[in-house]
Amino acid sequence: MYVLGIETSCDETAASVVKDGRRICSNIVSSSLDFHKKYGGVVPEIASRMQLEVITEVVDSALGASGIKIKDIGLISVTNSPGLLGSLLVGISFAKALAFSLGVPLLGVNHLYSHIYASFLNKKTPSFPFVALIVSGGHTSLFFVEDFDKIKLVGSTLDDACGEAFDKVAKVLGLSYPGGPVIEELAKKGSPRTIKFSCSNTNNPLDFSFSGIKTAVLYYVNRQTTGRPENAAFRRRPAKCSSRQIKDICASFQQAAIDTLINKSLSCAKSKRVKAIVVGGGVAANSSLKEEFIRRSQENGLKCYFPPKELCMDNAAMVAGLGYQLFKKGYRSDISLNADLN
């Protein structure tokens, strides 16, 4: 069965055709990132307006590149939760109209669960049950996964998401948005143990907190610049740190974030007695995170699965794939499908 996936939960407009939940026939992603750069983060109104402008072309391209005819589509799967309200509504409205006009079934899927599904689009796929860490610009969550429709949240961030912390640290250092890829590159040239950054503890050991470490970086930079840590404004300004210091800050911050993500995932896997960990979301594109995750999982007798890099970021192939699996289990949405922000 060919499934058309549509994803518009944040700044991307994506469409993809996937056969039987496994074979990606096309995968088109259009991003409005360049329009958000000067604001240092995604501006919801800009995102949804751009999505409205490009969605028809993106879906057309995905259908064209797939080599199949529109009448061969057996299901339309669309992200309906969680995400930016205006952005979600663009994808949902488009999907509903197309499904209605073609007379094909429609299914709304959860964005975070679809990030978990991205690892099922790889050559080697995980077996249930497993623990999943979804780490992106909007979320940092640990799930216990027993099936595609049996996913339980066991921990999440109490404040900033991990990707958001990368973005904010980059802003403090005067680097560009999004911060993750820039910090990853600079971290390669820095020393990860020069500065002692660490993430705050949480009452539930499986929850996360990234707001403290972000402030610690700001204070550290302020101290280098003015001799005083105060002035906690996260405004963009060139950090007066040397380029050596910036590389060390990036490496030390990144290492602290990686240590926390891995330690908590491993202890979650241990407490749930599973044999595998699945990682997904934008931050999973970080190659140091991937290397260390795989190494430490192996040391602990666990298998570790990452999606291919291009499927770590938001895309519609994961939406089509998850939609197929849930459709097979009997799940359907109807024309009343709406955005769900929870």
324: number of Cβ within 10 Å? 24
- In the complex with ligand KG4, which residue's Cβ is closer, 105 or 280? 280
Q: By the 8 A CB rule, do 208 and 140 touch?
A: yes
- In the complex with ligand KG4, which residue's Cβ is closer, 19 or 111? 111
Q: By the 8 A CB rule, do 51 and 90 touch?
A: yes
3-class DSSP state of 185 = helix
Q: Closest Cα partner for 180 from 83, 82, 289?
A: 289
- From the list 50-58, 99-107, 135-143, 192-200, the region that binds ligand KG4 by CB under 6 A is 135-143
Q: Which of residues 253-282 bind ligand KG4 (CB under 6 A)?
A: 281-282
91 binds ligand KG4 (CB under 6 A): no
158: number of Cβ within 10 Å? 15
Q: Which of residues 281-340 bind ligand KG4 (CB under 6 A)?
A: 281-283, 285-286, 313-314
Q: Closest Cα partner for 173 from 221, 139, 134, 133?
A: 221
41 binds, among ligand KG4, Zn ion, none (CB under 5 to 8 A by kind): none
Q: Which of residues 158-187 bind ligand KG4 (CB under 6 A)?
A: 163-164, 166-167, 178-181, 184
217 binds ligand KG4 (CB under 6 A): no
* Tokens of residue 205, six digits: 């050991």
CA distance 260 to 118: 23
138 binds ligand KG4 (CB under 6 A): yes
40 binds ligand KG4 (CB under 6 A): no
Rounded to the nearest whole angstrom, what is the least distance from the CB of residue 178 to ligand KG4 in the complex?
Answer: 4
Which residue among 136, 141, 209, 255 contacts ligand KG4 (CB under 6 A)?
A: 136
- From the list 57-65, 81-89, 92-100, 134-142, the region that binds Zn ion by CB under 5 A is 134-142
180 binds, among ligand KG4, Zn ion, none (CB under 5 to 8 A by kind): ligand KG4
Q: Closest Cα partner for 91 from 41, 48, 154, 130?
A: 48
Helices (H), the chain: 33-36, 44-66, 85-102, 111-117, 162-172, 179-188, 211-226, 243-272, 287-299, 317-328
Pattern 295-324, Zn ion, x by CB under 5 A:
-------------------x----------
